[in-house]
Structures are given as structure tokens and as C-alpha cells.
Amino acid sequence: MLRIVNAAGQSMFHHILSEMVNNQKNGVSLLRVSACYPQLVLRPMSTQHDLPRHPVPPLKDTLAKFVRSVKPLLSSSELSTTEHLVKDFGEGDGQKLQKILENRARSMDSWLADWWLTAAYLAYRLPVVVHSNPALVFPRRHFQTEEEFLKYAADLTFAALNYKSDIDNDKIPIDKMGKEPMDMTQYKRIYGTCRIPAPKCDKMHFSDPSRPVQHIVVAHNNLFFKICVYESSGEIISPGKLLMQLKAVVNASQKPGEAVGILTSEHRDTWARVYSDLVKDEVNRRSVEAIQTSLFLLCLDGPASHLSAPNVATLAALKIVHGGGSKGSSGNRWFDKTIEIVVGREGEVGITVEHSPAEAVPVAMLMNYCLDFLEKMPKSKSGENTAAFPEPEKLQFNISSDIKNAIEVAEHNLDNLVEDTDFLSCTYSGYGKNLIKEFKVSPDSYIQMALQLAYYRLHNEPAAHYESAGTRLFYLGRTETIRSCSIESVHFAKTMLDSKSSNEDKKQALLAAVKSHKDYATQAALGLGVDRHLLGLKLAAIENGMQIHPLYRDPSYVRSTHFKITSSQVKLLYFIET
């Protein structure tokens, strides 16, 4: 389990438009790793448009679920006020807004997708580093020489390019939930994409399929190099040629450059202002565009001797998540880039993901593919003789005094964030999912109830808890919130902490809590949760010039959306040792 606690108190999720942004407190985010694939089936991506559209849940059902979900967080008098507001909303404005959503759903591929991209990500103003960018950590490597380090980076790049080829040619298997196919749109959006800063709301660059991207960008010592990765025939260049290119990059960047990349770690409005100044210079603009349009970034990192951690997995995770700050490799990043493959000289390897265009699942599948590809790759593949190939193009930046000052401020701000971030990667080896399943209990629900119990034991109160459920059963589906804090979870926590409770009492309380969680998770995956629907109604009101109903200012809504715990799981094939 990878655990990130941001002491600054900001949750990674439930980001809404600027006029609605909630200040989230005591945020805890978790990434769980288990060793298995989702069920897969081969099916052409061209059939994806046949998937059902995201439903608009019945208003009455959503409001009833909402009231039930907030009961553990409210006093009896607060609950009475909430019930009154819910009744007023359901009989008045809510019905008008529901019709707007239903009309929107009839006229669009997804009533939610564009709103969610904007509200959850592009309008979110806190830095993408730590706050929203997830990361995946590969099994640690042990490089004995510079040659081994660069050879592995070249081979990994070759594997990632082959995965893109499989995506482009509809060769990857379609994910399934049970027997039902899932939307694969996100797989098409992880390569060649980049977030672009703008005041109040960022933009996204998506690659044009009619104009295939031919290059990646390699970062080393804070300097950026454009590398063409395709032959004139359209074939991916060989691992040997990639290795030759990486050696040329390292030779051309022995001294660290100005840490331009660290600007991407800034508050989004700050970065937008600096970005506007940066790209006024034509040389800078071309360099930035080369980064933004690249298939992905490959970051070749140096050692991180200044970082300390209780184990090597935690140290690797810290490097992948934020780069270690100004004394580490944070300037050797472009955090707006959807995919940044990081390979460190000390053996830490992973992928940092800008979250806007996709969840972590497509990138986790990329990781699984690459690790499997590398295991099967003939050793002689990257040792072949190479013909002449164009030298890497160094991306130049003209750094004005204002930009230099902005870099220094960004370094200071990121160092504070790095210092303020507690992180622990650990492995529980007492038992695993198979034992949990023997008791006919969902392993996921079991873990979520353990988190609820742990929080209650520490703070003597329940925690609003966000767990993400995938909604990719629907075309353009993303996520819905599983509200893991429930009446049953609180009863379970209290029962476990009551010295007078019998083991049978505790068992029955756990089973009830697990069932409640699993039932909600199922509904969420079917697009019948609470949070996306309520968000949609709120956005519909704003878009149509209507006043926001007082329900959205009520303690019930505020507390239940200020998530003190956020958790999600990403299934991987390879065990990450701690």
C-alpha cells in the first residue's frame, strides 16, 4: 500500500469550478496495489460508441441516498434541517434542474464528461504535484553502470512505443467488468496529450490522429531534448538507436540547466501568469510546444541523496511523485505532461501521470505491458549495430530575470510542499485477498472498513471518505464516488472499540458494513451514485443562471464532500517490494 498524507490538508478529489471550490481539510489519499489483471476480452475499439450512455439517476433516489449517507456526520438537529432542505430541493429547483440534465443527456454522448473534465481537473487551481497527479512505481532496478541505466531506459521507451502502436491498431484487449465491455477512450488519450495552464481554468492539448506525433522529449539535468522515435518508414526506431540517442542526450547535458520544468509544479494561476510571459519569446514557445506535443516525457534522473525514507519503496515513490524538490529532480519534469516515465540512476523507475485525460488504470496497463515486454525482450535487441540517426535536438529556453525569479519562487513553494507531504509505502504480509474471500467478503470493502475503523480509533469520529468507482461501463465514463462512510461503518467502528462487544457482535457489524459498502459500490459503478448527480444539478443551475440551492451550503453537503480520506485501487501484475 502506498500512503500519501498531505499535511497541508488538501484532498486529491472532488474538485469543482472556481466559484464552487471547497477548501478540503485533513486529506488522506491512498493507492493500493494488488497483483492481478481486470478481466479482459479482445474487441475492436471502433465498437466503443455502441456502449450505453451515462444515466441521469432518478432525483428522488439520489436525494434519499444522500440523506442516508450524511446521517453519520450530522447531529439530530442538523439532520432535521438537511431533510427539510432536501425536501424543498426535490419538490422545487431540483425538478427543473433534473429536466435540464435529462435533456442534456439526450443530446450528448455524455452529459457528464465535459463538465467533469473541467470541474474536477482543469478548473482546479492547486498544484498538480501531490494534489492530483498519481504515480505508479515499478519494481526497483539495480544498475551497475551508466550503460545499464541508459540501456534499460531505452528498452523501456521502446516498450512504451510498442504499446502505443497496439492501441493505435486496436490490438489491446478490451477491459471488461464481468461480461460487460468497458469504455477504452482513455487509452487513446494518454499519449501525446498535455495540460496547458490558463487563468481560472486550464486547457488540454490532445494529439490529432490525422497528424501522428513522431517524437518524445527526454529530460536530463533539467534540460530537455526532442528525439524522433520513428523511421521514415513509420517503424519505431530500434532499442539500439534509442540507446544511442540517450547517450547523446547525457553527453550534451553534463551540467544542470535552469529548472524551467519546476514551474509546472506551481499553483495553476501562478503558472498561467508565468507561462504567458514564458511563451512570448518565440524560442521558448517552440520548445514548450515540442514538450506539449510529444508522445511522452522520459526523465533520466540523478541520485536523491538528500531524501530520507524508512524503506526503498517509499524513497522511490517520493521521487516518482514529486521528484524530491529543488535539490532533487523536480526541475527534470514537466508535470503537465500526461505521461512522464522516470528512470533514476539509483534504480527507481515509475510513471507520473497528469490526471485530467485519464484515470490511472490505462497507465497501469501500460506499466504491466512494459514490464512483461521487457521480460520477454531478446537481450541482443538493444545491442545491435546502429546506423547514423539524427542527433537529439536540445530545446532552448531564453530565461529572463522575471522567469528566473519565478523559478526560484517555484522551487521554494515546491520544497515546502515536499516537506509537508508524509508518505509511506508498506506491505502487509499477514494475509491477503484469498483469505478474505474465503469468508465471502469483498477484499475492497474489507480494506475500506479497516480505514474507517483506523480513522475512528484515532479521532473518535467518522470520516467522510471518497473511494473512486470506475464508470467505464458507459461511453466516455470516468468515475463516481463511493461514499465509504455509512451508518453501518460507524456502527462497526464503535462495536470494535467497545470492550463489552462480543466477537460475534463484531463479526456481524463487519459483515453489515461490508455489505453496505459493496451495495453502494455496485450502484456507483452503474452511474447511480450521489456525487456526480448532485454536481451535475449544481452545474446546470450555474449554466442556466439559476441560484444555487441552500442545500449546497448545508453542513450535510459541505462535510460529506470535504473528504478526510480518499482511496482508490490500481491492479498491477508486479509486486513492489518495500
Question: In the numeric block, which cell numbers belong to residue 304?
Answer: 536523491
Are 536 and 562 in the same domain? yes
Question: In the numeric block, which cell numbers belong to residue 239?
Answer: 532499442
**Domain assignment of residue 439, yes or no:** no
Are 225 and 298 in the same domain? yes
DSSP code at position 145: S
Are 376 and 417 in the same domain? yes
User: pLDDT-derived band of residue 37, with 50, 70 and 90 as boundaries?
Assistant: very low
Q: Which of residues 425, 454, 481 is at a domain's end?
A: 425
**Residues 6+ away with beta carbon under 8 Å from 131:** 6, 10, 12, 124
For 423, the 3-state DSSP assignment is strand
Are 243 and 345 in the same domain? yes
Predicted confidence (pLDDT) per residue in 87-132, tens digit: 999 999 999 999 999 999 999 999 999 999 999 999 999 999 999 9
Nearest residue to 456 via CA among 507, 493, 510: 493
**Domain assignment of residue 130, yes or no:** no
User: What's the rounded Cα separation, in Å, for the pair 417 and 318?
Assistant: 12
Distances (CA, A) of 64 to 60, 70, 99, 558: 6, 10, 18, 17
How many CB atoms neighbour CB 126 within 10 A? 18
Are 329 and 456 in the same domain? no
**Residues 6+ away with beta carbon under 8 Å from 388:** none
Predicted confidence (pLDDT) per residue in 356-392, tens digit: 999 999 999 999 999 999 999 987 554 455 567 789 9
Question: In the numeric block, which cell numbers belong to residue 15?
Answer: 474538485
User: What's the rounded Cα separation, in Å, for the pair 257 and 244?
Assistant: 22
Are 326 and 405 in the same domain? yes
Average pLDDT over residues 463-483: 98
State residue 46's pLDDT score.
54
Are 378 and 464 in the same domain? no
Give strand pairing partners of 572.
Answer: 35
For 203, the 3-state DSSP assignment is strand
Are 402 and 530 in the same domain? no
Average pLDDT over residues 20-33: 30
User: What's the rounded Cα separation, in Å, for the pair 29 and 567?
Assistant: 5
**Domain assignment of residue 434, yes or no:** no
Question: In the numeric block, which cell numbers belong to residue 78?
Answer: 442538523
Percent of the chain with pLDDT over 70: 90
Find how far residue 407's CA is from the centre of its chain: 25
State residue 571's pLDDT score.
78
**Domain assignment of residue 577, yes or no:** no
Question: In the numeric block, which cell numbers belong to residue 519?
Answer: 451495495
Are 79 and 199 in the same domain? no
User: What's the rounded Cα separation, in Å, for the pair 183 and 474?
Assistant: 6
β-sheet with 349-353: strand ranges across:
135-137, 349-353, 339-344, 297-301, 215-220, 223-228, 393-394
Predicted confidence (pLDDT) per residue in 202-241, tens digit: 999 999 989 999 999 999 999 999 999 999 999 999 999 9
Contact 340, 133 (CB under 8 A): no
State residue 311's pLDDT score.
86
Q: Which domain holds residue 421?
A: 139-425
State residue 126's pLDDT score.
98
Q: E strands, 8-77, where?
A: 28-35, 40-41
Q: Which amino acid is at 247?
A: K
User: pLDDT-derived band of residue 73, with 50, 70 and 90 as boundaries?
Assistant: very high
Are 530 and 460 in the same domain? yes
Nearest residue to 334 via CA among 423, 245, 395: 395
Question: In the numeric block, which cell numbers belong to residue 484?
Answer: 465509504
Contact 294, 324 (CB under 8 A): no
Domain count, the chain: 2
Nearest residue to 524 via CA among 452, 446, 466: 466
| Rg of the chain over all Cα atoms, to the nearest angstrom | 24
Among candidate residues 220, 322, 355, 549, the one labeled active-site is 355
Predicted confidence (pLDDT) per residue in 121-146, tens digit: 999 999 999 999 999 999 999 999 99
Q: Which of residues 392, 425, 458 is at a domain's end?
A: 425
State residue 39's pLDDT score.
38
**Domain assignment of residue 558, yes or no:** yes
User: What's the rounded Cα separation, in Å, for the pair 542 and 19?
Assistant: 10
Are 217 and 300 in the same domain? yes
Higher pLDDT, 77 or 31: 77
Contact 330, 338 (CB under 8 A): no
Give the DSSP H or E segment for 85: helix 76-91
Q: Which of residues 425, 460, 495 is at a domain's end?
A: 425
Distances (CA, A) of 293 to 103, 186, 212: 36, 17, 10
Looking up residue 506, the CATH number of its domain turns out to be 3.30.559.10
Contact 447, 510 (CB under 8 A): no
Predicted confidence (pLDDT) per residue in 341-365, tens digit: 999 999 999 999 999 999 999 999 9
Question: Does residue 452 carry a pLDDT above 90?
Answer: yes
Are 65 and 188 in the same domain? no
**Domain assignment of residue 440, yes or no:** no
Looking up residue 315, the CATH number of its domain turns out to be 3.30.559.70
Contact 21, 125 (CB under 8 A): yes
User: What's the rounded Cα separation, in Å, for the pair 51 and 424?
Assistant: 39
Contact 448, 464 (CB under 8 A): no
**Domain assignment of residue 129, yes or no:** no
Question: Does residue 26 carry a pLDDT above 60?
Answer: no
Question: In the numeric block, which cell numbers belong to residue 379?
Answer: 537481450
User: What's the rounded Cα separation, in Å, for the pair 467 and 179?
Assistant: 23
Catalytic status, residue 355: yes
State residue 12's pLDDT score.
31
Predicted confidence (pLDDT) per residue in 525-552, tens digit: 999 999 999 999 999 999 999 999 999 9
